[in-house]
Amino acid sequence: MKKIVSAAGIILAAVIAASLFACGKPGNNSKPGDATPSGFSQKTPAPDVTDGAPENTASSGETAKPGTTGDPQTTGQPSGNETDHGNDTAQPGTTPEGTENVDPVKTTAPAPTPTPTPEDVGDDVDGTATPAHTATATPGPTATPTPEPDPTTAPDDMPEFTVPYVGKAGKTYDAFNGLKSDEELWKIDTVIASLTTGGTPVIEKIRKIHDWMVTNIAYDTRLRARHASDALNSGLGICQAYAELFDVFMAEIGVESFTVPGTAGGEAHAWNAVNIGGEWYFVDVTWDDPLVNGHSNYPDARNLRYTYLLVSYETVRQDHRADDEQDLPKPFGENDSFRAALVEKKKNEIEAELRNAASSGEGGLAFVIASEDERDTVSAEMVEALKAAAQAGEKNFSATVFCVKGVPDVKAFVSEMSSLLAHEGVEAYHAGVKTGAKTVGSEFYTSVEFTVTAS
């Protein structure tokens, strides 16, 4: 009897101990966290941590905000903004109704960068762009002008691998928390070289690195990939791994940053602070890579968002708390103007990508609605496509509509379009039809797949 009680006690103790080491991701917006030490500067090996991942729980195309997140407690990652509106059946004459113990890592840039402004996003905020030069042609019948590389468009040279490898910040891998080899630091520099050109503004570099991490690293729901090295080698990571890796990227592009240990959504978590022009802004790549339908590695980055990309202290502290807030460096950035400018830029990029996808027809019949004016036009075109399918004897019709965020009201649009397709389907097929609508929401757009099946 004593042995049984002792074993139960050991198991209970183990469960309690395990609960103290997890970090959060939005999603639940949380990724399990870490036990977090105080302080924000020294470079010391970070203890292993477990953290949670955010989940997108919005329906009908709306993006859920981070739920519980943290580091030392268990948190999740956003679950999926996916809504299946089911099948409605229409008969002729009827119309249906529609993180871990997070050690702060301070990485100091090799040289300060000039102060960028939100208006410069996408332009040359690093300084004055050097215009391209064209060499003067040498007189002679065969001479041709030889243009010199334009530093604003020429890709950065790919770094050559050596041992030891010294990175762009003039340091070797062992100067950074979370790295284990020369090759890992070299790989980070090759990513930077592939993403940036000689004249890429610093704010744009940060955005590109942020997006690369979201699209190439998935939240580790097993809570095993705890460091930057894990994220690079396995493509998986918890909040501490995201934060460590982001710090190394920042150091290599000349931006001062460090990992902020604390809590988010009531659980242990880790995110980053970056110095832009002498003011401090905050980035949480983990929570900008929420879990959608249980995973965060959507190929089209549908789960990518800019909720925590270069935001002010006032914004991040709404659901994040640093362990030692009084020790955070100042001054803080006063607003979210950088984020707003980047969001607008991303929206424009995504709209262009969606239009290209729709016009190519590779993914089937598709339309884009980016303004209220396009709503009626798309509705009419879908009805005509449905009639053509019926005339061709096709009993199954499907079309996808990409709704750029905010236009139109997705819920209302799905209801109205489903009813219209049901009515027009009965007329076109002279038979009963079933309609369906499945929506998947994201930060920047919502896709709605409409289906009509003739009885």
Q: Note the pLDDT tens digit of each residue in 313-348.
A: 999 999 999 999 999 999 999 999 999 999 999 999
Average pLDDT over every residue of 406-417: 90
| Domain membership flag for residue 355 | no
Q: Are 280 and 387 in the same domain?
A: no
Count of domains for the chain: 2
Confidence of residue 31 (pLDDT cuts 50, 70, 90): very low
Q: Check: CB of residue 70 under 8 Å from CB of residue 455.
A: no
| Domain membership flag for residue 122 | yes
Q: Are 412 and 276 in the same domain?
A: no
Q: Are 323 and 379 in the same domain?
A: no
pLDDT score for 183: 97
Q: Are 427 and 375 in the same domain?
A: yes
| Domain membership flag for residue 149 | yes
pLDDT score for 424: 96
| Domain membership flag for residue 68 | yes
Q: Are 237 and 315 in the same domain?
A: yes
pLDDT score for 122: 53
Q: Are 76 and 118 in the same domain?
A: yes
Q: Are 97 and 227 in the same domain?
A: yes
Boundary of a domain, candidates 349, 373, 389: 349
pLDDT score for 442: 81
pLDDT score for 60: 34
Residue 130 has pLDDT above 60, yes or no: no
Lowest-pLDDT choice from 101-110, 112-121, 296-305, 432-441: 101-110
pLDDT score for 303: 73
Lowest-pLDDT choice from 66-70, 120-124, 373-377: 66-70
Segment 35-91, tens digit of pLDDT: 333 334 334 444 344 454 455 433 333 333 333 333 333 333 433 456 666 655 665
Segment 162-211, tens digit of pLDDT: 999 999 999 999 999 999 999 999 999 999 999 998 789 999 999 999 99
For residues 361 and 278, give the distance between their C-alpha atoms in angstroms, rounded to a whole number: 48
Residue 441 has pLDDT above 50, yes or no: yes
Q: Are 325 and 413 in the same domain?
A: no
Instruction: Quote the domain boundaries for residue 404.
Output: 361-454
Q: Are 339 and 370 in the same domain?
A: no
| Domain membership flag for residue 354 | no
Computed over every residue of the chain, the mean pLDDT equals 76
Q: Are 342 and 367 in the same domain?
A: no
What is the pTM (predicted TM-score) of this model? 0.72
Q: Closest Cα partner for 268 from 405, 99, 117, 400? A: 99
| Domain membership flag for residue 172 | yes
- Please report, for the domain that includes residue 402, its CATH number: 3.30.110
